Structure 1
Amino acid sequence: MYNKSKIAIFRKAGTPVSIEECSIPELKQGELLVKNEYVTLCRSDISTYMGKRIEKSPTILGHEIVGRIVAVAPGAPAADLNGMPLHEGKRITWAIYASDPDSEMSRLGIPQKSPDLFKYGHEQLTETNTLNGGLAEYTIIRKNTPVIVLSEDVPVNAAAIINCSVSTVAGAIRLTGGVEGKRVALWGIGMLGIIACAQCREAGAREIIAVDINSERLALAGRFGATQTMKAGEFDPSLLKADCTIDFSGNLASMGATVDALRIGGTAVWVGGVCPQEPIRLDTEKIVRNLYTIKGLHNYNADDFRAAVSFMEKHHADYPISELIYDGFTLDQTEEAFRYAIDNNPFRVGIHF
């Protein structure tokens, strides 16, 4: 019944994405076949497209995806992470990764670093490894992928960002040790930063300070829960005395500022620095004497994913999340979608099927 899938293939920076067709292989033990409904272009997709970061290629980019199960292989999970039944017709979201749940990294709570890691939207496209990213009509959900059945009430474009943006923010908040009753400062009010404002608000943060260089994004942050906004580089961060800070920008000056902004005993979490750049210089004496903690986060674990789905199902109508996504392209227009994202820098560009 499902024989062919249209796919968008990225080969190298400077070369247009090509739209081609591939055969849908027979599912392996434990796999699901999903018909994709929507995908958004994450900043990491755009960085790969522009050559700022190097991924295995050719590849099918796209990992912020939502879709519906159309086929179930023998041995596939009968229920999702929350115990809800999985079968054909179910609308699902899934984690960016698949990995052995019994691996050492998984037991340590960082399954996204397991040695057998498979990452959607980051794998090389081969004859034996296909339909592994979101820029395709179908995606094969590999064995040991965390999957959650998603409420039909969540708008499709908002649903797509759960398995990257929203889950990563949930992981960053976890690494702070919790934000309830705390003064939180967030650097970089792109998609992750704006969603972090909302998640910190719902998690009970006492103050939420949004920091960016873009006045329009700072103005929007208030609609997502920010209690104060500040222009990066135009204030002394040491005056903030924040309980915890999170950097989503990846900018070296901003990452340093997240440390300077801490009160004694505070925690800084770095999320944005995922592209190669110069080493950062830090005042080690200040870090030691003030008992600072600095943590890095790359992707997230199943608990973060579960928290992200819960947040979106409960609060998708409380914030103008859908307004953050420019919804103007089809899979055939993937090249145009990337160009629009680069030229206009919206929070996200969406591709519908």
Structure 2
Amino acid sequence: MTMTTIPGSTRAAVLHGPEDLRIERVPVPPPGPGEVLVAVDAVGVCGSDMHYFADGRNGGNVLRQPTVLGHEASGVITAAGEEVRLPIGARVAIEPAIGCGDCPTCRSGRYNLCPAGTCFGSPPTDGTIAEHVVAPARAVHRLPEEIDTELGALIEPLAVAVWAARRAGIRFGHRVLVTGAGPIGILVAQVARAAGAAEVVVTDVNDDRLGKAAELGATATVNTATHTLGLTAMDRLVECSGHPGALWQGIQALGPGARATVVGQAPPAVDGLPLAYLQRWEIDLSTAFRYANAFPAAIALASSGRVDLAGLVTGRFPLDQTAVALRAPGRDPRHLKVVIRPAA
């Protein structure tokens, strides 16, 4: 084992129930073969973290035991187990969703769909809002000099956007509609432009977020609460809001042979799917779940400057104020990406 000092425990944000988050010391196991110990520099707050904190659940997954939250993380390797080639001191982004690596799904490359897969911060798997985290070496990615360690925490949501663009099949010259100007929607818009889209229109009901989308690369924005969408013959729809109404409205803006891709967390069942309309115009309906093999592309996009991560960060909080950080986006809709700094 290669190491510096390995702490026996670490401070972490542990969720015990809705609105019951406690900063506690939790054990830190020494990294085993193929594992690394990461001193966490930054953790981005995701909508799933906010749902667990507010309701004790996210979609169908329910909090049943105290669990450390967080999955968008970056930091520095401080110890490594056997069979690890990464050096001590390497700055890394952590890929939180881990497949078993052995099942047919993982072997096919679709490890994001692994039936036995786990994800940091998805109960009961402890997450990354902690001073130290042990992670598989295969799940950490070195950050180049061009990416600040704090911004490395945003590689995870950028990987979501990269995977969404791949699933949508966005190509050079496409006209792309992105519904939802949250962090994922704005990142999808940037990735679409980087992929060669000729036009990227972003919709939302929040003018502040639409202004940020325009600042970061959208060719046009529409506030659908105050304006008619008024689009036709779009090639691709990437739905990032999680609202069925936005999906239906977006589908109506697509042209023949187009594709709609659902990225925002969908409800368990949705009535009113315009199946006859999709069939008449051969519009493909696809979905995207997390990502597979998308971190390298996300890092390349960020390091080249083709995607702006710094423009998304709207708040920073120390570990002791994790609960405040989790409430912040709901209390101030101008927030985009709030970052927790465990070492601060």
Q: Same fold (TM over 0.5)?
A: yes
Deviation at 1:142, TM superposition (A): 2.7
Tell me the secondary structure at the aligned position of residue 210 of structure 1.
Answer: strand
The aligned length equals: 332
What is aligned with 2:332? 344
What is aligned with 1:129? none
Q: Are residue 146 (structure 1) and residue 139 (structure 2) matched?
A: yes
What is aligned with 2:99? 99
Tell me the secondary structure at the aligned position of residue 17 of structure 2.
Answer: coil
Q: 1:280 to 1:315 in 2, by over 3 A?
A: farther
8 Å Cα contact 2:42/2:339 also seen in 1: yes
Query: Aligned equivalents of 2:318 and 2:209: distance in 1?
Result: 27
What is aligned with 2:67? 59
8 Å Cα contact 1:256/1:280 also seen in 2: no
Percent of residue pairs bearing the same amino acid type:
27
In structure 1, runs of 5+ residues without a counterpart are: 79-85, 126-131
8 Å Cα contact 2:313/2:339 also seen in 1: yes
What is aligned with 2:277? 286
Query: Aligned equivalents of 1:136 and 1:55: distance in 2?
Result: 21
Letter in 2 for 1:350: V
What is aligned with 1:224? 216
What is aligned with 1:68? 76
Letter in 2 for 1:348: K
**Alignment of structure 1 residues 246-257 onto 2, 5 Å:** 246-257=238-249
Query: Aligned equivalents of 2:232 and 2:207: distance in 1?
Result: 20
Query: Aligned equivalents of 2:127 and 2:68: distance in 1?
Result: 5
Deviation at 1:238, TM superposition (A): 7.1
Structure number with the higher strand fraction is 2
8 Å Cα contact 2:170/2:236 also seen in 1: no
**Alignment of structure 1 residues 191-230 onto 2, 5 Å:** 191-230=183-222
Q: Are residue 298 (structure 1) and residue 289 (structure 2) matched?
A: yes
Deviations along 1:75-113, one digit per CA (max 9) or x if unpaired, are 33x2xxxxxxx1111001121212233422123432012
In structure 2, runs of 5+ residues without a counterpart are: none
Q: 1:156 to 1:27 in 2, by over 3 A?
A: closer
Runs ≥4 residues deviating over 3 A: 54-57, 233-239
Deviations along 1:45-77, one digit per CA (max 9) or x if unpaired, are 11111116244431111111101111111133x
What is aligned with 2:168? 176
Query: Aligned equivalents of 1:118 and 1:224: distance in 2?
Result: 33
Q: 1:66 to 1:263 in 2, by over 3 A?
A: same
Tell me the secondary structure at the aligned position of residue 100 of structure 2.
Answer: coil
Letter in 1 for 2:181: I
Deviations along 1:227-272, one digit per CA (max 9) or x if unpaired, are 1111225555574211001011001100112222211000011011
2:49 is matched with which residue: 36, 42, 45? 45
Deviations along 1:251-305, one digit per CA (max 9) or x if unpaired, are 110011222221100001101124x455231222111110010111110001x22
Letter in 1 for 2:37: L
Query: Aligned equivalents of 2:313 and 2:62: distance in 1?
Result: 25
1:308 is matched with which residue: 294, 298, 306? 298
**Aligned alpha-carbon RMSD (Å):** 2.0
Query: Aligned equivalents of 2:104 and 2:303: distance in 1?
Result: 32
What is aligned with 1:83? none
Tell me the secondary structure at the aligned position of residue 37 of structure 1.
Answer: strand
Deviations along 1:209-243, one digit per CA (max 9) or x if unpaired, are 11111112112212111111112255555742110
TM-score by length of 2: 0.90
Q: Are residue 322 (structure 1) and residue 310 (structure 2) matched?
A: yes
Deviation at 1:312, TM superposition (A): 0.9
Letter in 2 for 1:154: I
Query: Aligned equivalents of 2:208 and 2:331: distance in 1?
Result: 17
TM-score by length of 1: 0.88
8 Å Cα contact 1:238/1:260 also seen in 2: no
Q: 1:152 to 1:25 in 2, by over 3 A?
A: same
8 Å Cα contact 1:237/1:260 also seen in 2: no
